[in-house]
Structure 1
């Protein structure tokens, strides 16, 4: 018998699902863009709202709000191709967000779909994300999900082919686009690149400070590292570039953080 203190732990059913997802996502024609966005004004407004109301708007909710508006201006990125080769362009922007929560004393990111984000205010999105964070156990799986994750791997991975086969069914379950974050678990700047099964995904990195010229004056600015991932089989490079430019404009203009927009539902 070995007296080493190594541990052997069973792999959870949820982890098996993550492995299946990553393998399926790795087969897509994903293109990653590493973007730097000035969020100084957005962060200033968030601090001002917190000082005035006692509650800071969620930064994730702010990004979801900007993303939904940018997609309304460029709806071609909110699309999937079905098994017949037809492209389904969706009007509703359903955003799958990675919500930070605590389960059994451990911080983790849990997916939650914000439905019709393009028809909602930042405050409404913020309230939903906070409610998801406070849910009793957001990691709990249904009985059928538990049974499904115990099936052989090649059968389980068929589920992740839904975007290619049945886009409408996929979006009913998982939303149309995704926002995931690595910045919530660390400090400072930095990007992350991740496979994804979505046509469009934002991976939120860290925020760092650096000097930059603003109106001819050198000033310290807060810069967000953002990875924009698109499926090149569906979205052309020019369309992706125009979408990214619009998204960056909205973020830098602190879209949705205007005082008069805060009270809308």
Structure 2
């Protein structure tokens, strides 16, 4: 077979960090739960609020807000084991969220940590996400970052062992929980399953329209496909199930969003 049109391209230096992260994350004892949540009320409130006030509220910001509130109700989810076998339970829920921004003229997702999201309003979280999206193009790596990414892989990957060795250092660098919004890059339903270095991670998938009985009547509703990933070394099945139930209640009730009905 011919090779006309083929080309060789260098692997971007930043990509090495992603490769290292995924390789180390794959060694953790992760358990994935695929859930489907009715977000009709939440999306209606977001749309109505924008029509009436001109104020936009990001759907990702809403998910981050509900996640932080659910963890506040189940604080032992927000924890890591250290190298001495102790469990560090953090009071602040620092959410590492994927935001879409411009890098070298292309729109891609980059991580940003929202600190103490459990003590923030939904509007505050939304404003921070928007600020991160509009931040300057972060294409230039610092001198130390460039040197670190040029180290041999076996050395670089020790960075991603921080949550298992030094949880406080991991928190200051990357937060305590993670939200990655894969669904914002496409249309339709669908789940995504990915390894993670976090004790808890939400992977926001697609949104699809399906029939559902509401108050005895069949209606078309919007359902969010959400993957909830846990580190089973830290979180057992029963606490995880209770946390997911609480998270679902908050999301389906449109918790924290303005209610135009005044209820």
Q: TM exceeds 0.5?
A: yes
3-state SS, counterpart of residue 141 of structure 1:
coil
Count, aligned residues: 259
Q: Corresponding residue for 2:253?
A: 253
Distance in 2 (CA, whole Å) between partners of 1:67 and 1:3 is: 49
3-state SS, counterpart of residue 157 of structure 1:
helix
Distance in 2 (CA, whole Å) between partners of 1:255 and 1:3 is: 56
Aligned-CA RMSD value:
1.2
Shift of 1:258: 2.7
- 1:42-81 → structure 2 map (5 Å cutoff): 42-81=42-81
Distance in 2 (CA, whole Å) between partners of 1:58 and 1:252 is: 16
Distance in 2 (CA, whole Å) between partners of 1:3 and 1:68 is: 51
Structure 2 residues without counterparts, runs of 5 or longer:
none
3-state SS, counterpart of residue 211 of structure 2:
strand
Structure 1 residues without counterparts, runs of 5 or longer:
261-265
Q: Corresponding residue for 2:155?
A: 155
- 1:4-83 → structure 2 map (5 Å cutoff): 4-83=4-83
| Large movers: runs of 4+ above 4 Å | none
Corresponding position: 1:195 with 2:198: no
Q: Corresponding residue for 1:125?
A: 125
Q: Corresponding residue for 2:111?
A: 111
From the superposition, tell whether residues 220 and 84 of structure 1 become closer, same or farther in structure 2 (CA, over 3 Å): same
Corresponding position: 1:178 with 2:178: yes
Distance in 2 (CA, whole Å) between partners of 1:221 and 1:228 is: 22
Shift of 1:259: 5.0
Distance in 1 (CA, whole Å) between partners of 2:255 and 2:209 is: 21
3-state SS, counterpart of residue 83 of structure 2:
coil
Scaled by the length of structure 2, the TM-score of the pair is: 0.96
Distance in 1 (CA, whole Å) between partners of 2:216 and 2:243 is: 28
Distance in 2 (CA, whole Å) between partners of 1:152 and 1:239 is: 39
3-state SS, counterpart of residue 46 of structure 1:
helix
Scaled by the length of structure 1, the TM-score of the pair is: 0.95
Corresponding position: 1:231 with 2:236: no
